[in-house]
Chains A and B, each alone.
Chain A
Amino acid sequence: GENVEQHPSTLSVQEGDSAVIKCTYSDSASNYFPWYKQELGKRPQLIIDIRSNVGEKKDQRIAVTLNKTAKHFSLHITETQPEDSAVYFCAASGAGGFKTIFGAGTRLFVKA
């Protein structure tokens, strides 16, 4: 069945450093890849997404890259700040972004 693997499970960085989270997916029909941020006790919120016709997308300090051939995609956060501390989930879905399979999450700690 469909599967999304996410690494690392925990990531600790110093404020100002970069953070990278990597995901792989199994379903070659996947063509939409969102990233969600979930703060403790809160609901997941979309921070960036990418579709399969694009290799990279950037939004201020956040960027996502996609390699469809290798079936992996990554989240890059530059100049990390303490408020970036949260759990980040990658996900994959087919056309329309409907049935969505999530990774297990990466807990990011940004130390001031």
Chain B
Amino acid sequence: GAGVSQTPSNKVTEKGKYVELRCDPISGHTALYWYRQSLGQGPEFLIYFQGTGAADDSGLPNDRFFAVRPEGSVSTLKIQRTERGDSAVYLCASSLTGGASYEQYFGPGTRLTVT
């Protein structure tokens, strides 16, 4: 079946602009996660959703970052007033809830470059 998909695969934006990154999870997966991965580092937790609600957003670095999942499927990560330090690969993952496996399935990521 289809895996987690993310669009766009690459995004170049100017400092100060607004960007939206989209994630399509695996069908039926109720949990959805956003991570940020800088070069040479592990994925950094940002936020996760259970259904439509943000269950834990403690990893969002500041109030310029916001994420939504209005219908419990597709999610959008929104970054306002982008800064050069926001440049990274943004990874999305999804998982089943209540199953025997806790495995998170990752998407290919969106590489964000802020110039």
Which of B13-21, B71-79, B80-88, B97-105 participates in binding chain A? B97-105
CA distance A4 to B108 in the complex (A): 24
Q: Which residue of B lies closest to A103 (CB)?
A: B42
The reply to whether B97 and A102 contact each other, CB–CB distance below 8 Å, is no
Shortest C-beta distance, B105 to chain A (Å), equals: 8
A43-B91, A44-B91, A98-B55 are known contacts. Are A105 and B106 too (CB-CB below 8 A)? no
Given A43-B108, A98-B56, A99-B48, A34 contacting B102 (CB threshold 8 A): yes
List, in ascending order, chain B residues with CB within 8 A of A46's CB: 103-104
With beta carbons under 8 angstroms apart, the residue of A4, A32, A34, A43 that contacts B107 is A43
Q: Of A34, A99, A103, which is in contact with the most chain B CB atoms at under 10 Å from its CB?
A: A99
Q: How far is the CB of B4 from chain A (nearest CB, A)?
A: 8
The count of chain A contact residues (Cβ–Cβ below 8 Å) is: 23
- Specify which of A32, A43, A101 is in contact with B106 (CB 8 Å cutoff): A43
Contact of A43 among B41, B48, B103, B109 (CB under 8 A): B109
**Closest B-chain residue to A32, C-beta based?**
B102
CB of A104 within 8 Å of the partner chain: yes
CB A72 to nearest CB in B, in angstroms, measures 17
Chain A residues in 8 Å Cβ range of B95: 97
Q: How far is the CB of A1 from chain B (nearest CB, A)?
A: 9
Interface pair A97/B104, CB less than 8 Å apart: yes
Using A43-B91, A102-B43 as known contacts, list a sample of 5 further A-B pairs with CB atoms less than 8 Å apart, ordered by residue number in A: A34-B103, A97-B104, A98-B55, A99-B56, A105-B40
Q: Which 6 A-B pairs have the closest CB atoms?
A: A97-B102, A102-B42, A43-B106, A46-B103, A89-B42, A102-B43
Taking Cβ atoms with an 8 Å cutoff, the residues of B that contact A are 31, 33, 35, 40-45, 48, 50, 55-56, 58-59, 91, 95, 97, 102-104, 106-109
